[in-house]
């Protein structure tokens, strides 16, 4: 048995995955064919080729383009189901999936109809594969005018019924200052609803600090530059604010020359809570691939990886009792699998 077989078999939780970056080429080809996208989009074949071999400088445009190909509720249901199958193959038991309804302009659905379609896929995944999916309703930074509307919806009984567990913020930090979203985030905070903010991509530690000060998130996604700011590192460690990271994303965008130089070790040794996620698995690789890369490149040993894998349960938005039960199950499975795989 090998390390790779152990990493494939170990149960996992995924907190850092975006539906918009999880749509595989095959399912998008099927959807585009059914919706006759090739007859309405210029350079369609070029876009299809980019899905398999992306230009990371054009990734935001590629995501917007492919999301626009979804035109029916059934399209949404299908991409959720495909994500669920992929997670099942990695033995992911629970996933908090970020989804941005504003990125689907061709869908003439209100928010309730949108999430009804998502939950149709979710229910099929749970029945067929035993994977539990919940949603982080995510705002793009370039649409501050929608912030209050989205925040109000997140606080409704309908949102809870549709398995929405948090409000998120993503997109380029250069688009709008975080202050544009302060009221929306304070609205959900008052209702004790969780908040997730993507920060650090471009503004590095200053962007993360500003997000913490203004929006009070429960989690930071990405966190690029955090390791280079000692005061920020201490704050994250002391306040137990996890960084949800994708080392392969940093490598793909040229932010680190190799995974051995990625500051995962420094953050871990400083007691910053780390959660590794796939982010956009179509472009950066699956959660299992991320786990394998950081171990094989020497960024972590297997004990440290197991600890970080458990962080995905500890810092999830599950109920405390459920977290304790699931963590105990994962620990038992890790011990058994390590013995079986001689890891």
Hey, is 148 helix, strand or coil?
helix
CATH 3.20.20.140 fits 3-341, yes or no: yes
Residue 234 — very low, low, confident or very high, per pLDDT cuts 50/70/90? very high
Q: What is the mean pLDDT of residues 336-342?
A: 89
**In which element (H, E) is residue 70 found?**
none
Name the residue among 50, 36, 109, 39 with its Cα closest to residue 76. 109
Domain range summary for the chain, segments of one domain joined by +: 3-341
pLDDT attached to residue 1: 58
> Strand pairing of 274-276 and 243-245?
parallel
pLDDT digits (tens, 9 = 90+) for 288-299: 999 999 999 888
Distance (Å, rounded) from C-alpha 87 to C-alpha 108? 28
Q: What is the mean pLDDT of residues 78-87?
A: 98
307 or 340: which leads in pLDDT: 307
């Amino acid at each position: 048995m090998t390390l790779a077989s152990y990493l494939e078999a170990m149960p996992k939780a995924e907190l850092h995955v975006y539906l918009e970056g999880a749509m595989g080429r095959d399912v998008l080809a099927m959807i585009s064919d059914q919706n006759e996208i090739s007859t309405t989009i210029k350079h369609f074949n070029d876009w299809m080729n980019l899905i398999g071999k992306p230009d990371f400088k054009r990734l935001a445009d590629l995501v917007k383009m492919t999301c626009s190909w979804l035109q029916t509720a059934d399209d949404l249901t299908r991409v959720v189901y495909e994500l669920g199958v992929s997670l099942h193959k990695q033995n992911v038991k629970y996933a908090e999936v970020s989804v941005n309804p504003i990125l689907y302009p061709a869908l003439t659905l209100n928010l309730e109809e949108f999430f009804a379609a998502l939950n149709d896929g979710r229910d099929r995944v749970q029945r067929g594969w035993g994977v539990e999916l919940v949603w982080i309703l995510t705002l793009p930074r370039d649409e501050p005018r929608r912030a209050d509307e989205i925040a109000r919806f997140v606080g409704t009984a309908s949102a809870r019924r549709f398995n929405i567990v948090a409000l998120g913020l993503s997109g380029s930090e250069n688009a709008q200052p975080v202050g544009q979203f302060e009221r929306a985030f304070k609205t959900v905070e008052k209702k004790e609803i969780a908040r997730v903010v993507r920060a650090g991509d471009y503004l590095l530690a200053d962007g993360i600090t500003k997000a913490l000060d203004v929006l009070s998130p429960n989690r930071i996604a990405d966190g690029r530059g955090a390791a280079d700011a000692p005061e920020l590192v201490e704050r994250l460690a002391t306040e137990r604010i996890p960084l949800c990271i994708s080392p392969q994303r940093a490598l793909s965008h040229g932010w680190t020359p190799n995974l051995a130089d990625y500051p995962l070790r420094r953050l871990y040794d400083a007691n910053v809570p780390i959660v590794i996620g796939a982010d956009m698995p179509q472009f950066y690789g699956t959660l299992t691939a991320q786990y394998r890369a950081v171990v094989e490149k020497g960024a972590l040993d297997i004990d440290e990886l197991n600890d970080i894998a458990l962080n995905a349960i500890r810092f999830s938005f599950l109920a405390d009792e459920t977290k304790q039960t699931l963590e105990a199950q994962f620990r038992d499975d890790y011990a058994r699998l390590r013995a079986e795989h001689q890891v």
